Amino acid sequence: MQSFISRFSWSWVSIPLLLLIWCLCAGRVPAYVFPQPWDVAQEALRWASNGSLLQQFKASLLREVGGFSAAALAALMLGTATGLCKGFRDLVSPLNGLFMAIPPIAWAPLTMIVFGLGYLSIVLVIFIAAMFPMTVTIQDGIQAIRNTEIRAARSLGANRLQLLRHVYLPASLPAITTALRVGFSQAWRALVAAEMIGASQGIGWMVSMGGQVGNSSQVMLGIVLIGLSAWLAESMVFRRLEQHYQHWRVQ
């Protein structure tokens, strides 16, 4: 019993508690307004039986990977440059503030007018949504590195490339991981919103079409997929990244 208590985590309670609240709330209204969890499970089986569920998820995943990867690479280079160079930071900071203040979904109609309905327009919305928050977070991480560490490396003869590789990069890894977390969540939200506006497949399209035809089970299925995908990415990717770089940073 004591060993079980020592291994117990309150995180185990979260999902069952959420399902319980869901059942209690759904039981007070008709199923066509707010479905029960088993109604959503039946809807998932219906979509999965003909392969449509995997097709919608794959379409969203390809867009997310494309837009987020490009945004992460651009933010890493831009955030490092602005963190190291004050003049360049002063030049770019107003642009970061401007673009971060604009809701990413506001760009969706423009990108779809210019590039049409398809992969490129949605990926561009994801890129805009994720890059600027990640840039600012990485920039702050670079600036937070202590001058004593930099001076110590320089006193040992480190050049700029060695400083970047052995001081700036390891010390800023927590900020980079935080930036990836923030960027992924922003990218995922932008993806779903853009798909609801101008896509013919994807999780956002599922939610939008379900709302148009009054299928609340389909809407809830899309919402569950959105939340579950984000949770899996957090648990299986970002937490493992943290565990991986902690040992490197100590070294």
The CATH code of the domain that includes 174 is: 1.10.3720.10
Distances (CA, A) of 47 to 44, 58, 227: 5, 14, 18
- Percent pLDDT > 70 in the chain is 85
Mutual angle of helices 86-101 and 52-84, in 10-degree steps: 150
Distance CA 80, CA 39 (A): 49
pLDDT at position 104, please?
Answer: 83
**pLDDT: is 145 or 122 the higher one?**
122
Write the DSSP symbol of residue 236: I
The number of distinct structural domains making up the chain is 1
pLDDT at position 3, please?
Answer: 52
142 token code pair:
């670079």
180 pLDDT above the threshold of 50: yes
Cα 88–Cα 130–Cα 87 angle in degrees, nearest 5: 5
**pLDDT: is 177 or 4 the higher one?**
177
Distance CA 179, CA 166 (A): 20
Distance CA 35, CA 19 (A): 12
Write the DSSP symbol of residue 105: G
Classify residue 88: in a domain, yes or no. yes
**Per-residue model confidence as pLDDT tens digits over 54-112:** 999 999 999 999 999 999 999 999 998 898 888 888 888 888 888 888 888 888 888 88
Classify residue 242: in a domain, yes or no. yes
pLDDT at position 2, please?
Answer: 47
Q: What is the mean pLDDT of the chain?
A: 83
pLDDT at position 29, please?
Answer: 78
Residue 250 phi/psi, 5° resolution?
-60, -40
**Per-residue model confidence as pLDDT tens digits over 15-40:** 788 888 888 887 777 777 788 888 89
Report residue 242's pLDDT band, with 50, 70 and 90 as the boundaries.
low
- Residue 129 belongs to domain spanning: 36-250
Classify residue 84: in a domain, yes or no. yes
Distances (CA, A) of 119 to 66, 103, 109, 123, 187: 9, 20, 14, 6, 14
pLDDT at position 112, please?
Answer: 87
249 pLDDT above the threshold of 60: no
Report residue 173's pLDDT band, with 50, 70 and 90 as the boundaries.
confident
Write the DSSP symbol of residue 34: S
Helix, strand, coil fractions of the chain, as percent rounded to 5: 85, 0, 15
Classify residue 104: in a domain, yes or no. yes
Q: Kindly state the average pLDDT of the residues 37-56.
A: 90
Classify residue 151: in a domain, yes or no. yes
Exposure of 174 by Cβ count < 10 A (0-12 exposed, 13-18 middle, 19+ buried)? middle
Classify residue 2: in a domain, yes or no. no
Q: Are 82 and 139 within 8 A, CB to CB?
A: yes
Report residue 128's pLDDT band, with 50, 70 and 90 as the boundaries.
very high
Exposure of 93 by Cβ count < 10 A (0-12 exposed, 13-18 middle, 19+ buried)? middle
Which residue matches tokens 């079980």?
Answer: 4
Q: Kindly state the average pLDDT of the residues 1-11.
A: 54
pTM: 0.82
pLDDT at position 45, please?
Answer: 93
Classify residue 21: in a domain, yes or no. no
**pLDDT: is 157 or 75 the higher one?**
75
Classify residue 5: in a domain, yes or no. no
Distances (CA, A) of 35 to 192, 205, 236: 21, 19, 29
Which residue matches tokens 């400083």?
Answer: 163
